[in-house]
Every structure is written in C-alpha cells, then in structure tokens.
Structure 1
Amino acid sequence: MTAIQSAKWGVILAGSLFVMAGFWALHTVRITLNGSSSLPDHAYVMWGWPKAIWRGAYIAAEPPEVYAERFRGFFFTKEVFGLPGDIISHDGAGAVCVRGSCFPLALKDGKPFAPALAEGVIPEGRYAAFGTSADSLDSRYVHIGLFPIERIAAVGVAANIIPHWKELKAWADARGLR
C-alpha cells in the first residue's frame, strides 16, 4: 500500500469515526442547566448511553413518586457519592453519611424536614446521590431514597461552558430582550 492509499484510508476512517461520534452525540447527549442552588455548577453535559455511573458523576433522574406530579418534566440532577456496596450511616447529629461525606438534614420548625435515609448497605442497582445545599431534595431523605438505575436518564460531568441562567436573565433584562 502506498503512502497516498494509507492517507486516503486514514482520512476515511477518521471521518467515519467523527460521523459516528456525531450521531451518538445528537442521539444521546444533552446540556442540563442548573435551576437551583442545590449544586455548585451552572451546567452539566449528560449522556443517556452508556450509563456508566462512578463516584463523582452527576446523574439526571426521574423524580421519585412522591414528587412525580410536582416535578413533571424535570429531572433531579445530583452528584453520586455512594455506589452499590457502600455503607450509609448517620453521624452524631443525625446527618446521612457515605464514605466520609455527611449531609445534614434541613430543619423546619426546629425538626428535620423529613426522616433520614436508613443506615445500611447500598444494594446493587441503586446509588446515593446528593446536592451540596442543606435543603437539597436528595438521598439523605427516606422519601427520596437511593436512585435506582431504571430511573436514571443520564450520566454526566459538570461543564460551566455557559453562564448561569440568572446571569443570562439579567443580561436580557438589561437590554430589554424579554
């Protein structure tokens, strides 16, 4: 094979890989904007396949049944701290802990907002995922619980590639674009 033929096949292969990656991205990749203060980042690049979930990944999950009506059309986006086999425990103040990270319960009228997630081992196919703010609706509460793989729509990483939505709104308001 000559150098020209090798270069030709190299370009064809590279082009084919680029096109396949583009189709995969168009089919499965999405940008998720953070609409709350429960996580520190502005945006997340998420993909629906493959669902390889690791500690530190961000997940977009369908809301639990208790919140399904209230959050219809929205996903709970949280950071994964606990994987199957990890142990959920409570510290002396009642915070839910996994692998050295503890998440205190939000208080309402001096009492916990809701009961804490029970202590125990995270079963196969479930993940403990949390937000960073004290009032985040996440795995620390029994009515949210562990996120089952079946309800996880996408997995991803933080990507502050665009400004926070409040900054975009302020910019649009300042220019009379609303």
Structure 2
Amino acid sequence: MTERVILEVGQPAPEFSLQDQDGTTRALADYRGEKVVLFFYPAAMTPGCTKQACDFRDSEAALQASGVRVLGVSRDQVAKQRKFADRDDLGYPLLSDPELEVHHAYGAFGTKNSYGRLVEGVIRSTFIIDEQGNIEHALYNVKATAHVARIRKILGVDA
C-alpha cells in the first residue's frame, strides 16, 4: 500500500498545472490573491461525485462573491470532465489528473476502507488554500453530501 502525504494547516499548498475540461492549463499560481477551494473527487458522473459537484455549482456564486474560487480535480480525462461539466452545468474548472501526480501531492490518493476492504484509490478530500498559497484547511475522507455546507460554514459564506 502506498504511503501518503498528509498536508497540514500553514504548509504551502503543492503547486500544480493541469488541464481543465476545456483543455486550458490551470495552475495554482494563477489564483494567488484569491482563496481557493480545491476538491478531489473519485470519478466524474458517479452519484456521489455528481451530488458534491452540483452542491459546489449551487454555491459557486456565493463563494465567488466572497472571493473564493472553486476547482475540482479527478483522474478523469479532459473529455470526460467536459461531458460532466456539460451534463450538470458545472461552470468552475474541473481539472484532469490522470497520472495522479496532484492527487499524491495532496494526499488524496492512497489506502482507504471501501465497504470493509482496504483498497488503493482516490480519497475524497477538500483543501482551502489562502490568498498566499498556503493550506488553511485540509479535510480528508469527506462525505459527498452536506460537505459544501460545511465548507461554506468554515468560510463564513452565508446561505
């Protein structure tokens, strides 16, 4: 089983550069000066991931009004991210990390318990990154449902 990184508050967020659903390269450095919610999800268009992504979609305007940018990351290819974004009207960047490099850098891939079995896979995780590029919150093993409400509460973004 793979040893995984666990990021902590105050650490610099690992830099990355990935393609979004439009094939546009997005780097964490592009968002300096803005707070970023970076969430890792196991697979586009699955029930839990759809619920989580749509919850972020429904909160995106309120988050952006508070100076927060939302970025989703999965190991899905760009074309599948595009299909997911189109199907569910997701307006924020969905980043493609098929080689799992960014997943590993953030500790969002490793050993997890899946229905009583230990398996290697994507660990649903969310990171709040401050305006200087440091980890403000590192949330591992989050649930797909009610998660966005928790993020909004942490950020002080009213419903």
TM-score where L is the length of structure 2: 0.28
Bigger relative contact order, structure 1 or 2 (CA pairs below 8 A, ≥6 apart) = 2
Larger Rg: 1
Structure 1 length-normalised TM:
0.26
Higher helix share: 2
